[in-house]
Each structure stands twice: as structure tokens, then as C-alpha cells.
Amino acid sequence: MPLLEGLQVALTPFNLFACFIGVIIGTLTGVLPGLGPAAAMAMLLPLTVKMGSTAGLIMLAGIYYGAMYGGSTTSILVNVPGEPASVVTCLEGYKMARKGRAGAALAVSAIGSFIAGTLGIILIQLFAPPLARVALKFGPAEFFAMTIVGIILLSNLSGKGGLKAFLMIALGLLLSTVGLDPLGGINRFTFNYAGAGTGLSFIAIAAGLFGVGEILWLASQADEQLEVMKVGLRDLYPTKEEIKRALPPMFRGGFLGFLIGLVPGPAATIASFASYSLEKSISKHKEEFGHGAIEGVAGPEAANNAASAGAMVPLLSLGIPFSPAVAVLLSGMLLMGVTPGPLFLREHPDAFWGVIGSMYIGNVMLLILNLPLVGIWASITRIPQKYLMPVVLLFCIVGAYADNNNIFDVWVMLGAGVAGYLMRKFEYDPAPLLIGLVMGPIMERSLRQALIMGRGDVGSLFASPISFSLYVIAIAFLAFSIVKGARGTKKMAGTVECR
């Protein structure tokens, strides 16, 4: 059986060591805001090339999916997303930490990542060729329609009012246009400032809105917030009720994330947002969302891990990278003399099945490494905030600068921090803004490409059955949201009249 042979390859001492080093570096990469798996993989490419094709690919893959485990740590403990895909975890994970359930949130995150990662590997084996062919049917018009559906579906992420959410998404879309025109190569809205040419860093804005904004908020509430958070030993792990509530979101997030991973773009980030929105809409505990719902940690953390597995499908089957980290992995494969695609399995079976086998082993390693360390991570919450917040600010500054080695991004982060404080003060949720920032480049590029291919004919956007069906879904969900909002307003008005 090929998988058993792959496990034998992965279990050789040198390959096992490569897997271990990869997942450790990946976890640390996820913990440190701003570094990112793509940057870590790129820095270690020269080393992995010298290790040989199988061991080198195992190590690079370990960094890639290991980063998804570590990204939740700072999100839960200090409200700073270590990875863009962990932004959603801030919404519920940090609230759980504030209630003394940091250990439970970290444990559920690790378990969900393991389940979804393992599920993703199984799906890679079973469905890689047919799913890759489905993904190829998406052209620019279909991608644009998909972004419209995504924005409408995810606009209800915070539940704090549809209009506020749409305003935040619109602001995110506007901010995404800063920098080089993706097709024309012209600087836009940079005011001739050289540092703005690369655009506004997602890491800088996310760290500012969540990290610096939280620091400013705590400073304004110093009398209430300086109390040291206590985490007892019995609270370090999830209760039976928490596990029972978390398991279904883990599996739902796993399947959803894998499917989203087949689509070009920041799949892990989009998958985590989509999973959170799904869990919030179907949960029996809607009142807990925004206050520390366990489902809001389990689902998104499973989704971003499964999305990273899904992104491997087009790479291994067709040699097409759908994300920056996978593009670095492709570069490593080419440097090692391995060409991914339809002939990959035939020409390099040891490398293919060795990587698949190592992913099983790597997920077990990550679970073993993360669960016993829950107590250590949770103990961070005992540090008084007057000491912890300067460290958080330092991480934010280092992370923002490390993203592009650009001091301009630090200023962007500080500005976003002030904006994050004001948003919290006036009850605007920053998460929809980040949705717009992520979806904006995909939306613009796909729209312009579709219009170019259609020679300016707007009707070309609706021509294919896939894009037409997506628009129907978008309109239906928008109508449902409007009707639901109108009924809620009417119900509230009736309650006031009765009083």
C-alpha cells in the first residue's frame, strides 16, 4: 500500500528529524506575529535543498502546516493574531482567556487543528485529482462572483449591525487599493511616499486593530483591567461540555476549510472567517458569541488547518500554487529537481508519499507538543497587564516591521491601533474591515481580468452557470438578511410599545 510505504519513508531517522524541526519552526513562526510561514520557508530554502528532495520537502511542509498551530497562541493570550488566519480566534479565544479559560481555548485549538489537519490529509489522498479539476473551472468572472458572495456572507461576522459591518468592509476594500495597481503597475493613493508602494500590510493593520487597540483600551480602563488573570490547574483543559460543543465545529470547519483551500487566494484566512460565520449562524448558544464561545475557537482553528491541506491539492496534482506559502514550497520542489503535477506521483513516489506520511506524523507531533504545553502558555495570563502590554506592543512593532522590512508598516500599525481603540469605543467591530482588506485585491483583479476577457461587456460577468448561480446565492442571502433585520427591528419596536 503506497501510504504504508510513505510512512516507512517518513519514519526513517533523518526524515523524522526533518519533520520534527519543521513543525517546531512552524509553531514558532505562528507564535511570532508578522513572520509568516512563507518568509520562514524562504529563509530556510538553502538548507532544505541540501537535505535532499524527500527530507527537504518534509521539513518545508512541516513549517507550512505547523504555523497554523502556533498562530492561535498569541490570538488567545494577548489578542494579537500570530497569523492572518488566526484573526478570528481573537474574537472568542481572547474573551475565553479573560474569563480564565485560556487553557481550554488553547487545548481546543490544538485538538481542532489535529482533527482538521488529519482530515485534510485523508481528503488529499482521496480527492486530489477531481477537486483540482473543479477548481480549474473557476475563471476571473467566477472568482469575482465568489468574492461578492463571500462579502455578503461574512458581513454578519460580528452581529453588531449590518450597516456598520458593511461600512467596515467598504473601508477595508478602499484600503486594499493602496499601493501598486496589480495590472497597470501604477502607484495609487501613496501620496508619493516610497514605503507605501507595497500597499498596506495586513499584518500591520491586524496587529494594530487588535493588539495596539487593545493596549490603548486597557490603558483607558486601567483601574478595572490591571487585575492579574488567574488560571487554576483544573481550568487548563476543556471540560466535557466544552469538548462536546467543540467537536462538531471542528469537523464542519475541517470540511469547509479544505474546500476553500482549493481556491486561489488567502484560503486559510477566508476559511477561518467563513467557519466563524457558519458557527455563529447555526449555534444554539448565539448569546455567547462575542463573549467567549468555544465554537468560535474550534471551528476557525480547524478551518485554517484544513485550508492549508486543501491548498496542497492543486500544487501536488497540477503544480499550481494558490498561496504565497505554497508558492515557496513549489520553488523548493523545483530547486530539488522535483516537478509537481500529473507526473509527480509516477516520477517521485517516495517524495510524494513520504510527504503525505510525514504530514500524519507531523500532526501527531504537534498535538503531543502543544497539549502538554497548555499550562505553560496559560501561565502567561498570570502576568500583570502593566508588564505584559509593553511586551505585546514590542511584538506588534517587530511583527509589523518584519512583514516587509519597512518602517512605514510600523506607522500603519500605530495608526490602525488608534483606529482600533476608536472602533471599540464606538462599538464598530474591526473584523469586517480585515475581510475587505483580504478580499479587495482578489475582487479587483478578478473583475478587471473578467472585463478584459469580455472586452468590456458587463454581461460576461454573469455568462457562466457557476457565476450566475453564485450571484443568485448572494442575492438570496442578502434578501434574507434584510428581512431578518426588519423583523428584528419590528419586534423590538413592538416590545417598546408594550412597555
Note the pLDDT tens digit of each residue in 275-296: 888 888 888 877 788 787 888 8
The predicted model scores a pTM of: 0.64
pLDDT at 188: 85
pLDDT at 496: 45
234 Cβ contact partners less than 8 Å away, ≥ 6 residues apart:
none
Query: Do residues 34 and 399 touch, judged by C-beta distance below 8 A?
Result: yes
CA 283/CA 285 separation, integer angstroms: 5
pLDDT at 415: 92
Residue 104 in any domain: the answer is yes
CA 115/CA 258 separation, integer angstroms: 12
Residue 496 in any domain: the answer is no
Q: What are phi and psi of 177, to 5 degrees?
A: -85, -5
Host domain of residue 426? 1-486
Residue 131 in any domain: the answer is yes
214 SS3 class:
helix
415 SS3 class:
helix
Residue 497 in any domain: the answer is no
pLDDT at 227: 37
Residue 380 in any domain: the answer is yes
**Residue whose C-alpha cell reads 530539488 in the numeric block:** 336
Residue 251 in any domain: the answer is yes
Residue 494 in any domain: the answer is no
Q: Among 261, 209, 161, 174, which Cα is nearest to 418's?
A: 209
How does DSSP classify residue 87? H
164, 169, 260 from 430: Cα distances, Å = 10, 9, 23
pLDDT at 345: 65
**Residue whose C-alpha cell reads 514550497 in the numeric block:** 329
- For 479, the grid coordinates are 434578501
Domain count, the chain: 1
Per-residue pLDDT of the chain (499 residues; tens, 9 = 90+): 666 777 777 778 888 888 888 888 887 777 665 556 766 776 677 777 778 777 887 888 888 777 777 777 777 776 767 666 777 888 888 888 878 777 788 888 888 888 888 888 888 777 665 655 665 677 788 888 878 887 777 665 544 556 777 888 889 889 988 888 877 778 888 887 777 877 888 778 877 887 788 788 877 775 544 333 444 455 567 778 888 888 888 999 888 888 888 776 567 778 888 888 888 888 887 778 878 788 888 888 888 888 888 877 777 776 666 666 776 777 777 777 777 766 666 677 777 777 777 778 887 887 777 767 665 655 555 566 677 678 778 877 877 787 677 888 889 889 998 998 898 888 887 777 877 887 788 788 888 888 988 888 888 888 888 888 888 988 888 887 777 666 655 555 554 454 4
pLDDT at 228: 35
**Residue whose C-alpha cell reads 495596539 in the numeric block:** 212
- End-to-end CA separation in angstroms for the chain: 71
Residue 498 in any domain: the answer is no
